[in-house]
Amino acid sequence: MTNEQREGRRSSGPRRSQEIFDATLDLLAERGYEGLTIEGVAERSGVNKTTIYRWWPSKGALLGSALIGGRQLDLALPDTGSLRGDLEALLRSVTALLTTSPAAEVAIATLGAVTHSSELAGHVRGFFAERLAREQPIFERAVTRGELPPDTDPMLLVDLLAGAAWLRIVFRQLPLDEHFVTRAVDTVLTGAAPAVRTGGPSAS
Amino acid sequence: MTNEQREGRRSSGPRRSQEIFDATLDLLAERGYEGLTIEGVAERSGVNKTTIYRWWPSKGALLGSALIGGRQLDLALPDTGSLRGDLEALLRSVTALLTTSPAAEVAIATLGAVTHSSELAGHVRGFFAERLAREQPIFERAVTRGELPPDTDPMLLVDLLAGAAWLRIVFRQLPLDEHFVTRAVDTVLTGAAPAVRTGGPSAS
């Protein structure tokens, strides 16, 4: 995250918002969405609960801000010099987030809560949109380097890779190794089918 | 689902297991996992609850069987004559499941419950494994037709496509149209990057 982004966040919240966000995600990881309360966040962060309520009228609203502003889900944006390198680093970060405490507990608890709260679902949608916006430079650089056509849809590439990681870790509960990362990126970049055979019915 | 598979299921459950499974998924869709009870399933299906308990000691175990045996999540396996056609049909079915009542409610409620119950997580894992096993013929036919190399990993292709659909529908809450289906399958089959430029640092 850039300093500018952190400043931008700070200006739209109370002074100690970083502590509030971190406490919110810690409590979510420990207790789940049901166990998350603004009182608990106040206690953990040492910020008066009336201050928190002044900025966030509900725990859903607070969690929405914390998902974006908390350190637990922060993602270092790679700049390796190649699209392949950047996507592998990005996918490695996503798999690390989904398998390492406390980010994994935060992600899984949020996932569970999305299905129970339409308000929270809106915040999760905002989280994914913000993350994609931050990932745009990866794709802009790739287009500039001639690694991707200008009409590439970054969201599609991100969703294929992150969705596969998510499905594999959360639903299949299978370990993700480096082999998964390199093969998934390779498939998305160069395709699973030999180029000469993918034209359609002529291959059959 | 083949008759053989249905027979296999029938032989490992009570006579009216189809009604029990369908009632289980209906109640899950209506009430969520917390609201699902074996008593409720007995009432809805008209099967005595002691009979249900004899085969499934817990609602988690019952839901595990119902995910696989219930009609709501059943998926017609395509055989269009080409890998591209089969994958597009498969992805279209997955997106329909995730956006159409009552399958969408079943899928979303199950997703939420996975994060609360390790027992249910095990059953969801079984559901995905069973589904992948049923999808194998799509990939075997593609290899036979020369559309895929013999060492292709079907799970990777399925997870890229289904994961993207899942992420887009559940987390981004964006509509999925036919354009998404064709572009996602095209990317997985032929790659997002022009073949000549994906060799690595030489492109930079």
* Residue with token string 């987030």: A97
Rounded to an integer, the average pLDDT of A146-172 is 95
What mean pLDDT do residues A114-118 have? 73
Give the mean model confidence (pLDDT) for residues A167-184. Answer: 91
What is residue B132's predicted lDDT score, i.e. its pLDDT? 96
State mean pLDDT over B78-93. 97
Which of B167, B169, B181, B188 best probes binding to A when mutated, by most A CB atoms within 10 angstroms? B167
Q: What is the DSSP string of chain B?
A: --HHHHHHHHHTS-TTHHHHHHHHHHHHHHHHHHH--HHHHHHHHT--HHHHHHH-SSHHHHHHHHHHH-STT--PPP--SSHHHHHHHHHHHHHHHHHSTTHHHHHHHHHHHHTT-HHHHHHHHHHHHHHHHHHHHHHHHHHHTTSS-TT--HHHHHHHHHHHHHIIIIIS-----HHHHHHHHHHHHH-SS-GGGTTSGGG-
The pLDDT, as a whole number, for residue A144 is: 97
Q: Is the model more confident about A108 or about A48?
A: A48
| Coil, strand or helix at A193 | coil
User: pLDDT grade, residue B100 (50/70/90)?
Assistant: confident
Provide the mean pLDDT of chain A. Answer: 86
Kindly report, residue by residue over A13-23, the tens digit of the pLDDT: 788 999 999 99
**Residue B90: closest CA among B163, B158, B190, B177:** B158
Residue A199: band (very low, low, confident or very high) from pLDDT cuts 50, 70, 90: very low
Has residue A175 got a pLDDT over 70?
yes
Check: pTM over 0.90? Answer yes or no. Answer: no
The answer, yes or no, to whether residue B17 has pLDDT greater than 80, is yes
Give me A137's structure tokens.
């430079």
Reading the block at residue A146, the tokens are 């001639």
Return the pLDDT at B13.
Answer: 75
Of A97-101, A103-107, B187-191, the range with the highest mean pLDDT is: B187-191
Asked if A29 has any chain B CB less than 8 Å from its own CB, the reply is no
Query: Do the chains contact at A162 and B167, CB–CB below 8 Å?
Result: yes
Please tell me which of the candidates B160, B193, B203 has its beta carbon nearest to residue A160. B160
Local confidence band at A79 (pLDDT 50, 70, 90 cut-offs): very high
Label residue B9 by pLDDT band (50, 70, 90). Answer: very low
Q: What is the pLDDT of residues A25-39, one digit of tens each?
A: 999 988 888 899 999
Residues of A in contact with B187 (CB under 8 A): 156-157, 160, 188, 191
Cβ contact A191–B188 (<8 Å): yes
Are B189 and A189 inside 8 Å of each other by CB?
no
Distance in Å, alpha carbon of A48 to nearest chain B alpha carbon: 31
pLDDT of residue B200: 46
Nearest to B188 among A162, A192, A197 (CB): A192
Q: How many Å lie between the alpha carbon of A143 and the closest alpha carbon of chain B? A: 10
Q: pLDDT of B145-158, one tens digit each? A: 999 999 999 999 99
pLDDT of residue B72: 85
Q: Determine whether the interchain pair B115/A128 forms a contact, defined as Cβ–Cβ distance below 8 Å.
A: no
Residue B103 pLDDT greater than 70, yes or no: yes
Average pLDDT over residues A143-161: 96
A114 inside 8 A of chain B by CB: yes
ipTM for the whole complex:
0.85
Please report the pLDDT score of residue A12 as a whole number: 61
Chain B partners within 8 Å of A159 (Cβ): 163-164, 167-168, 172
Asked if residue A200 has pLDDT above 80, the reply is no
pLDDT of residue B4: 45
